[in-house]
Amino acid sequence: MMLVVSVVAVSTLLFTQRNLSARVRLDFESELQVEVSALHALQQFRDAALAERCRILADKPRIHAALEDGALDLLYPSAHDELRGMMEVEDGAGPGPGSLGADFYRFLDPRGGVIDPAGSPGVGRLEPSQESQLVLPRLPESPQTGYIVRGAGSPSETVDEVIAMPIVSTEDGETISAIVLGFAPPGLGVEAEGARVQNGIWTGGRLVLPGLPAAARAQASSEIARAIGHPDGDHGSLEFRYSGSPYLLFFKRLNPGSLYPAAYEVSVHPLAEALSGQRQLIWEFAGAGALALLAAFIASEVISRRLSEPVEKLVIDSRESRENWERAEAALETTSRELQRSARFSADASHQLKTPVTVLRSGLEELLAGETLSPEAREEVSRLVHQTFRLASVIEDLLLLSRMDAGRLKIQFSRLDLSLLLGSLVDDLSAMPDSRGLQVETDVPATLWVTGERRYTELILQNLLENARKYNEPGGRIRLAARAEGGWAVVTIGNTGTAIAPESHALIFERFHRGAVGENVPGHGIGLNLARELARVHGGDLRLARSEAGWTEFELRLRLADEAP
């Protein structure tokens, strides 16, 4: 009997523990993958911008004239003029990482070799070994992306991203040359000390990742070389150990199909911390398990005399706890998917929706400009045009949010007169056509200096006032008050209208959450989330002060600035 109880208890514990470890690991990996894919989305956007700049250059008449009219001696000097805005630092260290400025440029001859700049100024210095990495087996028909290692083996070792843009003759449509521009890639060597993820680039058997010790780099590098040898080696993850510590590494091909050697984006994460967390969990489990086992022994001793009844109970208990566990697992899985989905959505949607919306709007406006529309259709089309403006503003908000998510929003702090700002916003509010006879009361001091960036502070307040108007009742009231309290400027914005249900209080700041207000109230469930995130990056906060008995009040805290100078 005792043996049966022990086996059941131990195997349940083992099963649960293993399940938990796997879950922790999976959750951790998917979290990392979200970070990596956010970085990748940024990279793709930047690449598209750079390729566009290169394409414009490849069409320049002077560059064509030099190549087509037999004036190769004027090729680099002509390009120098055209590239003046892009080559920010002449022959110097070049622009910083992530900037759209170029480090160097070269032209390729019809065989794919580099056309010698012959001492032309401002082309960007390159060692012969670096210049030889620009050579292609033939002139490309489409833009090619490559990565070249500069200062290999030195402490300042870095990678430049190069884009080779074909130059097609205007005389015969043949590719006659290519302009190759080198840029410092984003996200390399800019991580702060102790950052969670270290990013680098692997190319030609070398891993350039300034945050990792040389020996660890060498080891990671050979691991990657092995992993990409597999048929589906375009992306993946692997684990490696360096001086006893485990690391998790993700790699993804940066230039699929390129004529340049394959290059991979690499993110390395030290696993030590995560593993110690996991170990602790295992210990806790083991402890709990031992206790449970002890309890089971005692129980079985006590009740073995009463034969099978207690065993059945124990089995039922463990089944219940397993069901609970599975439910928790399922919830965790959903959350993690949700997280990935929303991060990806924010990043992709912002970029990919902007263009179609603009195209849509100009198409609709063109339609409106025509004479052929009936008055009804005209009204419908102008309504659609109006919708495109709303859509564009949602995308703007999403872009802002995804920049904040990626930690890329930098606030330019300055002193702002909050009272003045509130005054003008209240004016704007009264001018809204559908203010439905709302009464606006204000209790704001003559001046109140806060510190923040004007447009974002304005955006927070706008969103709050907009909500106070939207969720109000006809003939209702809005109350706007501001005061200094401690080091804070405290702004309260209250409005009449149906209160927010208590169970929703925790949810209203969630992204894409919309209260049970019905579809007739416009909005997209981003406003409050955006306002809170913005308040927080300003060092302040936004909370729901109260919402009961027909009155809802939000409280915004912003940092007070010193008195007016």
Partner 1 sequence: MTLRPMLLALAAAALALAPAGYGQSSIEGRVELPKPLHAPVMNKRYGIVAYGGVLSPYPPVAVVYLEGSFPRAPTLPTGRMAQKDLAFVPAILPVQVGTRVEFPNLDDTYHNIFSYSPAKRFDLGRYRRDETPVPSEVFDVAGMVTLRCDIHEHMRAIILVLDTPHFVLTDTEGRYSLQGLPGGRFVLKAWLDSRTTLSRAVDLAPGGVLRADFP
Binding stretches for partner 1 (CB under 8 A): 59-62, 64-66, 68-71, 74, 169-174
The least CB distance from residue 174 to partner 1, in Å, is 8
Enumerate the β-bridge partners of residue 547.
Answer: 552
Smallest gap from Cβ 59 to partner 1, in A, equals 6
Which one, 62 or 505, has the nearer CB to partner 1? Answer: 62
* Shortest distance (Å) from residue 65 CB to partner 1: 4
Q: Please, which residue, 70 or 128, has the CB nearer to partner 1?
A: 70
Instruction: Give Cβ neighbours of residue 386 (< 8 Å, ≥ 6 apart).
Output: none
Q: What share of the chain is helix, strand, coil (3-state, %, to 5)?
A: 50, 20, 30
CB 215, min distance to partner 1, A? 53
User: What is the distance between the alpha carbons of residues 149 and 201, in angstroms, rounded to a whole number?
Assistant: 9
Q: How far apart are CA 220 and CA 238, in angstroms?
A: 9
By beta-carbon proximity to partner 1, the closer residue of 25 and 60 is: 60
- Least CB distance to partner 1 at residue 68 (A): 8
Instruction: Report how far residue 249's alpha carbon sits from residue 197's, in angstroms, rounded to the nearest whole number.
Output: 9
Q: How far is the CB of 336 from partner 1 (least distance, A)?
A: 52
For residue 233, the one-letter residue type is: G
Count Cβ atoms within 10 A of the Cβ of residue 482 and give its class: 0-12 exposed, 13-18 middle, 19 or more buried.
buried
* Separation CA 244–CA 242 (nearest Å): 5
Q: Say how many C-beta atoms besides its own lie within 10 A of residue 446's C-beta.
A: 7
Question: How near is the Cβ of 140 to partner 1 at its closest, in Å?
Answer: 20
The residue among 33 and 120 lying less far from partner 1, judged by its C-beta, is 120
CA atoms within 13 A on the CB side of 322: 15
31 vs 68 by CB, closer to partner 1? 68
Handedness of CA 191, 196, 199, 205 (dihedral sign): positive
Q: Phi and psi of 45, rounded to 5°?
A: -65, -45
Least distance (Å) between residue 137 CB and partner 1: 24
Nearer to partner 1, 85 or 287 (CB): 85
CB-wise, 56 or 331, nearer to partner 1?
56
SS (H, E, C) 142-160: CCEEEEEEECCCCCCCEEE
Q: How far is CA 319 from the centre of its chain?
A: 41
In the complex with partner 1, the residue whose CB is nearer, 62 or 477, is: 62
Query: HSE of 495 in the Cβ direction (CA atoms, 13 Å)?
Result: 22
Partnered with residue 162 across adjacent β-strands are: 146, 182
Cβ atoms of 52 and 355 closer than 8 Å:
no
Least Å distance between CB 101 and partner 1?
A: 23
Nearer to partner 1, 173 or 522 (CB): 173
